[in-house]
Structure 1
Amino acid sequence: MNTALNATRTNRQTLLVCFLAALAGLLFGLDMGVIAGALPFIAREFTLTSHHQEIVVSTMMFGAAIGALLSGPLSSLWGRKKSLLTGAVLFILGSVGCAVAQSMGILSLSRLILGLAVGVASFTAPLYLSEIAPERIRGSMISLYQLMITIGILAAFVSDTALSAGGHWRWMLGIITFPALVLFLGVLTLPESPRWLAMKDKNQLAETVLKLLRSSDRDAQRELAQIRESVKVKQRGLQLFRCNANFRRSTWLGVLLQFMQQFTGMTVIMYYAPKIFEIAGFATTREQMWGTVIAGLTNVLATFIAIGLVDRWGRKPILKLGFSGMAICMAILGYMFHTGIASVSAQYAAVTVLLIFIVGFAMSAGPLIWVLCSEIQPLAGRDFGVTCSTMANWIANLIVGATFLSLIDAIGSANTFWLYAVLNLICVVLTLHFVPETKNISLEHIERNLMLGLPLRRIGQPASHHGGIHSAAK
C-alpha cells in the first residue's frame, strides 16, 4: 500500500510540474489571440492599411524567430528553468509596452519583445516537458502545452469580446501582464530538468529530481543510468549538423514539420478570425467577436482529443486524419466563398465547416508537431535541432501572418482558401513518406534508430540491438 501511495504522490507531483511548465503555452496563446480582437481598433486608432496591420501582427512572429534562435544556447548554458523565467520577464515587459503604446512604432517594438518571449517559451517549454515526463505519458504531457495555448487563445477571445464594446484595446493587450506574473512565480517552484543537470555533471541533483517525479526510486535510478549513458555525448549541434548526415535528416524533418503545421491555415484563423467571420457574412463587431469565442472554445475542447489519443493511437494516424480533414474543410470554404454566402443558413454552414477545420487542427497538427519535434532529435544535437524547428515555426508563422490579407486582396477569398486546401493535401503526402511513429518509444531508442540510418518514417520502431547510442558521436 505504501508503494501505491508513493506512486500516486509522485505521479501527482509530475503532473503538477508539467502543468506549471505548460503555463508558458497559456501566455503563447494569449499573445496569439489578443491581437485578433484588438487589431480592428488599433487600425482605426493609428489609421493602418492592410499592409500595416500585417506588420503589427507579424512583428511578434519575427521576434519569436529570434527568440527561438537564441533559446538553444540560452537553454544549454543557463538551464531550462532560467530560460522559462527569462521568457516570463519578457512577457511582462512586452505586454506593458503594448498597453501604453502611443504610436505604431512603439506598439510594434513591444510586439517584438512579446515575440522574443514567445520564442523562448515555444522552444523551452516542450523541451523541458519532454525531459521531465515519463515516456508512457510524454505525448500527453507535451500535448498539455498545446492545450494551454488553446486555452490562452480562448481566454484572449473572451476578454477581447468583453472589452470590445468600449473599444478598450489597450486593456486587451495589457491584460497579459497578470498571467505572466503567475508564470514567473510558478516557474520559481519548478525543479531543473534532470537531463540538463546530468549534462552539467550534477548527477546527485538529477537523481533527487527523478526520485521526486517518478513512481519509485528504482525507476528513478534506472532512468538516471540511461541519461548518464546518453549525456556522455556532449551537446555539439552545429558541428554534428555539419558532419553527420543522419542528424541533418532529423533537423530538416523538424523544420519540415513546423512548416506543415503553419501552412495548414490555422494561424490565419487565429490572427484574423474577425476578418474571416466578416467574409462569411457576419457584419457586426459583436457577431464577429462571438464567432472568435466559439472558434477558441472549439480549439480548446478538440485538443483534449489529442491528449486522450496521442499515446493510444499514435502520432502518425492522427496526423493523417487531421490533415485530410483540414484539406476537405478548406476546399469547401473556398467553394462557399466562390459561390457567395447570401443566406443565414449558408453563413452558419460556413461557420460549421470552419469549426470542423479547427477540430482537425487541434486534435492533430496543433499539438502533435510539437510532440514529434521534441522527440526526434538526438541528445548531442537536441538543443540545436529543436532551436531550428522552433525558429522554422515562427518563420512559417511570419510568412502566413504577413501574407493573408494581401492574398485575399490579390487573388480573392476563395482562391486563398483553395490554396490552403492544396497545402493540406501536400501535408498528407509528406506525413506518409517522412513522419515516424514514436509512441511508447524512448528518446534513446529513437536516437539509436536515427543514427543507424533508418528511413525517417521508421526511426520510431523498436530499436535494433546492433549499434548504439554512441553512434551519435560519429
Structure 2
Amino acid sequence: MPTGTAQAGRAALPPLTDGPHRRRLGLVALIATFGGLLFGYDTGVINGALRPMAAELGLTPLTEGVVTSSLVFAAAFGAMVGGRLSDGWGRRKTIILLASLFFVGTAAVVAAPGLALLVCGRVLLGLAVGGASTVVPVFLAELAPYEIRGSIAGRNELMIVVGQLAAFIVNAIIGNTLGHLDGVWRIMFAISALPAIALFFGMLRMPESPRWLVQRGRTAEARRVLATIRSEERADAELAELATNTDSEQHQRVLGWRAVLTNKNLVRILLIGIGVGIAQQLTGINSIMYFGQTVLIESGFDESAALIANVAPGVIAVIGALIALSMMDRVDRRKTFIIGFTLTTLSHLLIGLASTLLPVGSPARPWVILLLVVVFVGSMQTFLNVAVWVYLSEIFPLHMRGFGMGVSVFMLWVTNGFLSLYFLSLVDAVGITGTFFLFAAVGALALFFVWRFVPETRGRTLEALEEDVTTGAIYTR
C-alpha cells in the first residue's frame, strides 16, 4: 500500500484532464520511442541476416557469435555511459546523440567489406542500443503523470517489439524475394537508417525532462515544459512538489557509486534493480529473438519456412505488449512479475518435454515447438518485458536515477551478451531439451527472488517513491 507521504502527495495534485496538453505528451512519447524502435530493429535484424552474412563474409560459428554478441556487450557499456551522460548533459541531448550513433553504426555495417568493420559498426549500434535502453524509459517516466506513468513508460517496450517484428517481416520478405542476391543482408540493415533520421530530427523539437531541469536549477524552463504537457493547475502543483523535493536533497545532487554504497537502502534498491534485469534476461527471451530461426530449424523447419514462421513470435510479442500497456496502470508490478515468471517457467518445461517426447522427423514436432515458443514470447511480453523496463525507470531516486538505471541495465546487457555468445553452443551441446530445462530451473529461482525481495511501486509519484526508497519505507509490507 502507498505510504502516508505518497497519499499526501497524490491528494495535493489536481486530477488529470484532457486537452491539447495530453496530445502533446503523446507526441513527445511517440518521438522518443523511436529509440525503442531502433533498439528492436537492430537487435532483431540479425535473426535473418546472419546466415547470408556468414555465407558472404566466410564467418565461422565463433565469428558469428562475435558479430551477434558484439552489439550486446557494447550495449552494456552504452547503458552505463548513457545513464551517466543523461544525468549531466540532459535526457533530450543524450537521445539526439544516440540517434547519430544509430545512423553511423548502420552505415558502417552496411558498407563493411569484412569482419573488422562489421564488428566496429555493431559496437556503435550496441552503444546506441544500450544508451537508448537506459535513457528513453527514464525520459518517459519523468515526463509522465504518475497516474499513467506505467502506460507511458511502457510504450518504449512496445516500440522495441514493434521494431523486432518489423525486422522479422523485412527479413522474411527480402530473404524470400531477394535472397539470391549478394549482399542481401546489407539491405536488411540499411532499413534502420530511416527511424534513426526520424529520431534525430524529431528530438530536436522535443522538450527536456522537467524533473532534470528542476534538479539543475532551471525551474522557469521546467514550468514552461510542464505547461505544454499538463493543465495549468496541474503544472503548478507538480512544479511545487518537484521544487520541494529537490530543495530537501540539495546536498546529494547526483550520486556516484561511492555515495550509493554508503547508504544501505540505496544499495538494496540497486541490487533489486540488478536482480530484476538479470532475471528478465535469464528467461532466454533474447536468445529466441536473435536465434529464433536457428531454434526453428533445429525443431524441424527448413530454412525458408523457419524465416517465415519466425514472424509468429514477433506478432505475439506486439500483441502481448499492447495487453501489458492496458494492464500497467491497473495491476501491481509484483503480481505481474509473479504471473510472468510462472508462465515462462512452465513454457520452458513444456518446450523441453515436447522436444523429448516428439522424435526428430515427426511432422508434429516443429509445429508444437513453434506454438510453445509463441506462448513463451507472449507470456514474456504480456507480463515481464514491459513491466521490467517500467519498474527500472521508476524505482531509483532522482539523484541516482541515471546511475542506478545504468548499472542495472549494464548487468542486464552483460547477461544478454553471454547468452548470445554461448546460446548456439549450448544448443549444440545439450539440444533444445536440455537448454529449455535449464531455463526452467533458472526461472524458478527468479520467481523466488521476486516473491521474496522485490517491493511494489505502482500508484506512487516518483517523489513519494524517492522518499520511501531513501528511508527504507518501501521495504515494509
1:430 aligns with 2:441: no
User: Would you say the 8 A contact 1:341–1:347 is kept in 2?
Assistant: no
Amino acid in structure 1 at the alignment position of 2:36 = G
Question: More deviation in 138-147 or 377-386?
Answer: 377-386
Q: CA deviation at 1:252?
A: 1.1
Secondary structure, counterpart of 1:218 in structure 2: helix
Unaligned runs of 5+ in 2: 1-13
Amino acid in structure 2 at the alignment position of 1:264 = T
CA RMSD of aligned residues (A): 1.7
Amino acid in structure 1 at the alignment position of 2:331 = W
1:306 aligns with 2:300: no
**Distance between the aligned counterparts of 1:452 and 1:92, measured in 2?**
43
Task: Tell me which residue corresponds to 2:10.
Answer: none
Amino acid in structure 2 at the alignment position of 1:301 = I
Q: CA deviation at 1:79?
A: 0.6
User: Would you say the 8 A contact 1:33–1:156 is kept in 2?
Assistant: yes
**Distance between the aligned counterparts of 2:293 and 2:257, measured in 1?**
42
**Distance between the aligned counterparts of 1:163 and 1:23, measured in 2?**
23
Q: CA deviation at 1:343?
A: 2.7
Task: Tell me which residue corresponds to 1:452.
Answer: 471
Task: Tell me which residue corresponds to 1:23.
Answer: 34
Task: Tell me which residue corresponds to 1:329.
Answer: 347
Amino acid in structure 1 at the alignment position of 2:120 = L
Q: CA deviation at 1:6?
A: 7.3
Report the CA distance shift for 1:5/1:199 in structure 2 as closer, same or farther (over 3 A). Answer: closer
Query: Normalised by the size of structure 1, how large is the TM-score?
Result: 0.93
Unaligned runs of 5+ in 1: 459-474
**Distance between the aligned counterparts of 1:162 and 1:211, measured in 2?**
45
Q: 1:228 aligns with which of 237, 240, 243?
A: 243
Amino acid in structure 1 at the alignment position of 2:301 = F
Q: CA deviation at 1:452?
A: 2.1
**Distance between the aligned counterparts of 1:263 and 1:375, measured in 2?**
22
Task: Tell me which residue corresponds to 2:201.
Answer: 185
Q: CA deviation at 1:335?
A: 1.6
1:87 aligns with 2:123: no
Q: 2:87 aligns with which of 76, 80, 84?
A: 76
**1:120-158 CA deviation, whole Å, 9 max, x = no partner?**
111110010010010011001111000000000000111
Amino acid in structure 2 at the alignment position of 1:39 = L
Secondary structure, counterpart of 1:344 in structure 2: coil
Q: 2:423 aligns with which of 388, 404, 412?
A: 404
Task: Tell me which residue corresponds to 1:361.
Answer: 380
Task: Tell me which residue corresponds to 2:310.
Answer: 292
Amino acid in structure 2 at the alignment position of 1:401 = S
User: Would you say the 8 A contact 1:435–1:457 is kept in 2?
Assistant: no
Task: Tell me which residue corresponds to 2:119.
Answer: 108
User: Would you say the 8 A contact 1:250–1:456 is kept in 2?
Assistant: no
User: Would you say the 8 A contact 1:54–1:403 is kept in 2?
Assistant: yes
Amino acid in structure 2 at the alignment position of 1:359 = G
**1:242-290 CA deviation, whole Å, 9 max, x = no partner?**
311111111111111110110011110000011011011101x221111
What percent identity do the matched residue pairs reach? 34
Q: CA deviation at 1:347?
A: 2.2
Report the CA distance shift for 1:457/1:418 in structure 2 as closer, same or farther (over 3 A). Answer: farther
1:196 aligns with 2:215: no
Report the CA distance shift for 1:438/1:346 in structure 2 as closer, same or farther (over 3 A). Answer: same
Task: Tell me which residue corresponds to 1:463.
Answer: none
Amino acid in structure 2 at the alignment position of 1:133 = A
Secondary structure, counterpart of 1:364 in structure 2: helix
Question: More deviation in 39-48 or 135-144?
Answer: 39-48
Report the CA distance shift for 1:362/1:10 in structure 2 as closer, same or farther (over 3 A). Answer: same
Task: Tell me which residue corresponds to 1:466.
Answer: none
| Higher relative contact order, structure no. (Cα contacts within 8 Å, ≥ 6 residues apart) | 2
User: Would you say the 8 A contact 1:273–1:292 is kept in 2?
Assistant: yes
**Distance between the aligned counterparts of 2:298 and 2:352, measured in 1?**
11
Query: Normalised by the size of structure 2, how large is the TM-score?
Result: 0.92
User: Would you say the 8 A contact 2:133–2:409 is kept in 1?
Assistant: yes
Task: Tell me which residue corresponds to 1:467.
Answer: none
**1:83-124 CA deviation, whole Å, 9 max, x = no partner?**
000000000000111111111111111000000111111111
